[in-house]
């Protein structure tokens, strides 16, 4: 559990991600009038837990319904996602009302996602000497990990930092964007490189440098699939689309 005794802590909550998580985890909960309350209950329960840690700052970041700049880069971005279930949609206004009653700031921005808000605030918080905790299950946030910025799971109530990233994926935070670019993201409908289905990096790329700096050494990769995964963005990548666009999407 993050220490609440450290002066200057900033907790940033990926609100929609958490709301969907608790909506599907908690079932069969309604108000006396029959209104579904499972997402409302689960979300506010977690926010109250975070409040109990006595953070210096606690902020909930929300996505918006308008298209973001990522849709301009790649039109099919998140196009595979179904609409929000009606039982969840009717709880969103109640969640906002509860956050207002709890005096927890809510931030969103037209053209951007909650991810972008959290990344911006987290980076600025770190510059000001704060210990930053990104409360999300989204693995894209792993690129933001530093000595002062960590992920925090509200389910396991555990931190996830550099050591955990190295143990899980075998890479450093500055390599996360390159890994995400190679493997793609089915949840966001972003294709990766066909030969790179695994989250584990090719053996020749397990260095502290970004993988694009390792591409000239792709001949050191063992096996044809690994060699293909290490190739520079050539015509093979272009057959899959604009590789550089994918790289921009992951940032």
At residue 124, the pLDDT reads 96
At residue 77, the pLDDT reads 73
Q: Please, which pLDDT band fits residue 18 given cuts at 50, 70 and 90?
A: very high
At residue 243, the pLDDT reads 42
3-state helix, strand, coil in the chain (%, to 5): 45, 10, 40
Rounded CA-CA distance 22/141 in Å is: 20
Name the residue with higher pLDDT: 223 or 219: 223
Rounded CA-CA distance 193/197 in Å is: 8
Q: Is the pLDDT of residue 152 over 50?
A: yes
- Candidates 72, 81, 115, 145; CA nearest to 250 is 115
Q: Which helix (H) or strand (E) holds 60?
A: strand 57-61
pTM assigned to the model = 0.79
pLDDT digits 0-9 by tens, 100-138? 999 999 999 999 999 999 999 999 999 999 999 999 999
Name the residue with higher pLDDT: 35 or 187: 35
Of the given ranges (115-119, 141-145, 234-238), which has the lowest mean pLDDT?
Answer: 234-238
Q: Is the pLDDT of residue 197 over 80?
A: no
For residues 134 and 14, is the Cβ–Cβ distance under 8 A?
yes
- Rounded mean pLDDT of 158-184? 93
At residue 128, the pLDDT reads 95
Write down the mean pLDDT value for the chain.
82
């Amino acid at each position: 559990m993050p220490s609440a005794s450290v002066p200057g802590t900033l907790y940033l909550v990926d609100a929609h991600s958490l709301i969907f998580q608790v909506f599907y985890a908690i079932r069969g909960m309604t108000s006396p009038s029959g209104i579904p309350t499972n997402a409302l209950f689960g979300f506010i329960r977690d926010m109250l837990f975070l409040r109990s840690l006595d953070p210096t700052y606690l902020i909930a970041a929300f996505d918006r319904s308008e298209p973001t700049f990522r849709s301009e880069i790649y039109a099919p971005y998140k196009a595979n996602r179904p609409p929000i279930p009606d039982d969840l949609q009717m709880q969103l206004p109640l969640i906002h009302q509860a956050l207002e009653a709890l005096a927890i700031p809510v931030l969103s921005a037209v053209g951007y996602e909650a991810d972008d808000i959290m990344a911006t605030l987290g980076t600025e918080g770190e510059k000001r000497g704060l210990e930053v905790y990104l409360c999300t299950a989204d693995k894209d946030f792993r690129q933001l990990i530093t000595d002062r910025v960590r992920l925090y799971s509200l389910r396991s109530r555990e931190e996830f930092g550099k050591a955990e990233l190295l143990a899980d994926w075998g890479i450093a935070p500055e390599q996360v964007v390159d890994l995400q670019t190679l493997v793609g993201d089915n949840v966001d409908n972003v294709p990766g490189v066909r030969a790179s289905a695994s989250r584990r990096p090719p053996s020749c790329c397990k260095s502290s440098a970004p993988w694009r700096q390792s591409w000239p050494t792709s001949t050191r990769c063992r096996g044809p699939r690994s060699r293909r995964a290490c190739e520079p963005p050539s015509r093979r990548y272009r057959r899959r689309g604009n590789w550089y666009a994918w790289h921009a999407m992951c940032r």
